[in-house]
Chain A
Amino acid sequence: MGLRDDVLRLLDPQRILRDPRADGEGVVVCVLDSGIEEAVLRARHPSMKPVQGAVFLADRPTPLPYEGKQSTPHGTTVADILLTIAPKVQLVSADVFGPSGTCEVETVLRALAWAVDVRKCKVVNLSLGVAEQKLQTLPKRQQFLRAIEDAYFKDVLVFAAAHNDHPITRSYPAHFAPPLISVDKSLFEDPLRFAYALRGQIEFQAHGRGYLGPFAQEPATSWATPHLAAIAARILSLQPDLKPFEMKTLLYWLSR
C-alpha cells in the first residue's frame, strides 16, 4: 500500500460528511431558480437563517427586491433540500422567473453575475437549464460558458442539473462540465450518498427525490442537484476556501 492510498483512506465519507460541524455553517448558497416561499420553509426549518435575495425580470436591467415569495414552487423544493442536508447554510434566492413564469438565458446570466460578484456566494445551485435545441445560437452559448468560467475563476462552485432526459437531451450549462459540477439523478437510500458516473459529459449522480412540494417525490435532476450542492456546503463548512477543482476532486474520491 503506497502513500496515495494512505492519504485517500483519510477521505472517508463517514468521517467528513458525518462530522457534526459539517452543517453548512458559514456557506452562502444561491438558489438561482424560481424564488423561495420563506414562510413555508421556516415552518419546516425553524432555525434557518433569513433568506436574502432578488427577483430578476427579462425587461428590467436591475433586480427587484425579494419579498419572501416564490414565483413557482420549484425553487422552494430546491431550497428545502439544501436546508434538509445542510441546515445552517445562508440561502440567497435569485428568482429568474418572476410573474411571467418563464425565463431567458440573459436573465440567468445577470442573476449569476449578481450571485458571484454582488452577493459573493460560494455555491450556486442551478436546478435549471436550457435544452440544446433551444440554445442553438453559438454566441449565446459562448456567453453562457464565459459566465460559468468567470464563476470558476472566482472560486465559486456552480452545480448544474442535467436534463431529465439525459443523455438523450443535452442541456446547458450542465454540459459545460469542466468548470462546474454537473449532476444527474439517481436514487440512493441515503441522501448523503452520491456517485461519480461520467455519462454523456455529466459527471455526478445524486439523490433525485425531494421532500417538499407537489412533485418532490418524482425523481428529477432538479432535486439531485441541491443534494450534491448541500453535500459540498457541508464540506465547505469544514474547509471554506476549497476551489472548484479541489471540491470536484474531493467529491470524486468521496464517492468511491
Chain B
Amino acid sequence: MSQANAETVLVVDDEEPVRRTFREWLEGAKLGIRVLAAPDAESALRLANEQQIDLAVLDWALGAGEDGLQLLQDLYAFHPNIVAIMVTGYANQATPLDAMRMGVRDYLDKNHDLSRETFVAAVRRQLDVIRPAKHSRQMHEGLVAFREAIDKVLPIVRSAGALTEPVPIPDAVRSLIRFLRQLTAAKQGALIVRHYDATKEPAESWIAYDAEGQTLATEAIPLSRSLAASVLSQQQASILTNIEASTAGLIDLQPFERGHRTILAAPMPVGSGVQAVLELFDKETGPFDAKDQKLVQTAAEFATDLLRQSLGQRQQQAMLLNAVEAALRASDQMAESLHGTAETRREQPPPVQVLDELRRGLESSTNPGVADASLQLAEAIRVIGLKHGSAALQHCVRLVESVRQLLDETLGS
C-alpha cells in the first residue's frame, strides 16, 4: 500500500510512555499505517485539522479535565467517518449511547488484558473494516467528481455535435435535386433513404424526400420488391423506361414513383445499414440520355461521399454520447450500490464488545432486566439518528422526556 493512501491512526494519551509504547506496538506490527500521537485534545485537534485521521486510539481520561469522548466528538466534526478505540479502566462509567453514536468501536481495559497482542489485534480488526469502507468512499467521491465533470461536458458535446453537423439532410436534398433538375430538365426528383438494423423492430425503415426537401409518403414495401433495390444492384445510374410493364410482378412502386414515363435513378450505397437512391422523373425535353446518366452518376457519387461523411460524424457523435451516457448510468448504478453498502454497514448492529460494555454499564446502574429493553430502545434511536439525522434524534429525546414526565406525574415518582 502506498504511504499516501495509508490509513492514519492517531494515539491520544496524556502519558508519554503509553504513547511511545502504543506507537512502537503499531509500527512493529507492520500494519501499513501512519501513526500520529498527541498528548492532549488540543494537539490532537491540530493534527486532525491538518490531515485525515481514520482511527483514533483515545484515552478515556486525558487528564486536566479532558475526556476522550468529548475529544472524539470534536474529531468527528473534522472527520465524520472516524472510528475510535477507547482505552480505559473505567468502562462502566462510559456514556454508552453517545460513545456508540460517536464511533467508538472497541474498548481496551488498561487494568486487565491490555497487551501488545490485544492492542494490535483490536487495531487490526478496525482497520479491516475501515479499509473497504474508505475504498468505497473514495470510489464514491471519484464517481461524484466524474459525474459532475460529465454533467458539465455533456451539453458541450451535444452542442458541438449540432455545430459540426453538416448541412441538414432536407436542405442538402433540396440543393442536390434542384441542381440536377436544372442540368437534366427532369420534372421531378426524389431521394429515398433506407435504414436497416436487424436488431430493431421493424428492421427496415424508409424515408423519402422530394425536390423541396419535404418528406414524401411511402408504403412499407420490402427492399426485395422495391425499385430502390434494383437501382442499388445496378451499381450505376440507370434509365428505366416502360416502367409499369418492366416492373409488373417483380417489384412494387412507391406512390411517388408511379405514373411516370421514365426514371433516371442512381444508387447511393452510403454504408452499413444505410442505402439511398436518387431518382429523377420524366425529362421535359425528351428521354433521358447517356449524358444525363453520367451527370447523375457523378452527382450521386459525390452526394454519397457527403452522406457517408455526415453519417460517420453522426455515428462518432452518437458513439461519444452513448459512451458518456453509459458512463453516467454506470456511475449511478455504482453509486447506488455503494450507497446501499454504506447503508447496510451503518445499519449493522454495533460491535459485540461495545454492546457488552453497554450492557454491563446499564446493569450496574439500573434495575435487573431493564438492560436488554434499554439496549433495544437505544438501538432503535441510533438507527433513527442514522437514517433521519440529528433533528429526528432531538424529536426522540423530546418524546422520551414527555413519556418520562407523564410517568412521573402519573406514578408520582
Q: Are A and B part of the same complex?
A: yes
* B249 x A99 contact (CB < 8 A): no
* A217 x B233 contact (CB < 8 A): no
CB A38 to nearest CB in B, in angstroms, measures 12
Given A72-B223, A164-B235, A222-B233, A101 contacting B240 (CB threshold 8 A): no
Q: Mark B221-254, 1 if CB is under 8 A from A, else 0.
A: 0111111011111111011111100110111000
CA distance A163 to B235 in the complex (A): 9
CB B188 to nearest CB in A, in angstroms, measures 18
Number of cross-chain contacts by CB at 8 Å = 87
CB A82 to nearest CB in B, in angstroms, measures 16
Is A35 part of the binding interface, using a Cβ–Cβ cutoff of 8 Å? yes
Kindly report which residue of chain B lies nearest to residue A127, judged by CB atoms: B233
Contact of A40 among B246, B250, B272 (CB under 8 A): B250
Given A70-B224, A73-B229, A215-B240, A100 contacting B250 (CB threshold 8 A): no
* A214 x B272 contact (CB < 8 A): no
Kindly report which residue of chain A lies nearest to residue B249, judged by CB atoms: A40
Q: Which chain A residues in 123-156 approach chain B with CB under 8 Å?
A: none
CA distance A140 to B243 in the complex (A): 40
Is A212 part of the binding interface, using a Cβ–Cβ cutoff of 8 Å? yes
Q: Which chain B residues in 374-399 approach chain A with CB under 8 Å?
A: none
Is B203 part of the binding interface, using a Cβ–Cβ cutoff of 8 Å? yes
Kindly report which residue of chain A lies nearest to residue B246, judged by CB atoms: A214
CB B150 to nearest CB in A, in angstroms, measures 33
Q: Mark A174-207, 1 if CB is under 8 A from B, else 0.
A: 0000000000000000000000000000000000
CA distance A191 to B239 in the complex (A): 21
Q: Mark B165-191, 1 if CB is under 8 A from A, else 0.
A: 000000000000000000000000000
Is A220 part of the binding interface, using a Cβ–Cβ cutoff of 8 Å? yes
* A99 x B235 contact (CB < 8 A): no
Q: Mark A46-71, 1 if CB is under 8 A from B, else 0.
A: 00000000000001000000000111
CB B125 to nearest CB in A, in angstroms, measures 55
Is B213 part of the binding interface, using a Cβ–Cβ cutoff of 8 Å? no
Is B256 part of the binding interface, using a Cβ–Cβ cutoff of 8 Å? no
Is A225 part of the binding interface, using a Cβ–Cβ cutoff of 8 Å? no
Given A40-B249, A70-B224, A99 contacting B230 (CB threshold 8 A): no
CB B74 to nearest CB in A, in angstroms, measures 66
CB B94 to nearest CB in A, in angstroms, measures 70
CB B197 to nearest CB in A, in angstroms, measures 9
CA distance A34 to B226 in the complex (A): 13
* A37 x B233 contact (CB < 8 A): no
Contacts of B246 in A (CB 8 A): 213-217
Chain A: interface secondary structure?
Answer: loop
CB A216 to nearest CB in B, in angstroms, measures 7
Contact of B230 among A43, A165, A213 (CB under 8 A): A213
* B239 x A37 contact (CB < 8 A): no
CB B219 to nearest CB in A, in angstroms, measures 17
Max chain A Cβ within 10 angstroms of own Cβ: one of B203, B247, B249: B249
Kindly report which residue of chain B lies nearest to residue A221, judged by CB atoms: B235
* A76 x B250 contact (CB < 8 A): yes
CA distance A76 to B273 in the complex (A): 23
CA distance A247 to B242 in the complex (A): 38
Contacts of B226 in A (CB 8 A): 72
Is B68 part of the binding interface, using a Cβ–Cβ cutoff of 8 Å? no
* A102 x B272 contact (CB < 8 A): yes
Q: Which chain B residues in 192-210 approach chain A with CB under 8 Å?
A: 194, 196, 198, 203-204
CA distance A82 to B265 in the complex (A): 26
Is B275 part of the binding interface, using a Cβ–Cβ cutoff of 8 Å? yes
Kindly report which residue of chain B lies nearest to residue A212, judged by CB atoms: B250
* A164 x B224 contact (CB < 8 A): no
CA distance A215 to B265 in the complex (A): 10
Contacts of B273 in A (CB 8 A): 100
Is B96 part of the binding interface, using a Cβ–Cβ cutoff of 8 Å? no
* B247 x A99 contact (CB < 8 A): no
Q: Which 9 residue pairs of A and B lie closest in terms of their CB atoms, listed nearest first?
A: A74-B233, A72-B229, A214-B230, A218-B238, A101-B223, A215-B238, A73-B230, A214-B247, A164-B236
14 A-B pairs besides A73-B230, A102-B269 with CB distance below 8 A are A70-B224, A72-B223, A74-B230, A74-B233, A99-B196, A99-B198, A101-B194, A101-B223, A164-B234, A164-B236, A213-B246, A215-B230, A217-B241, A222-B233
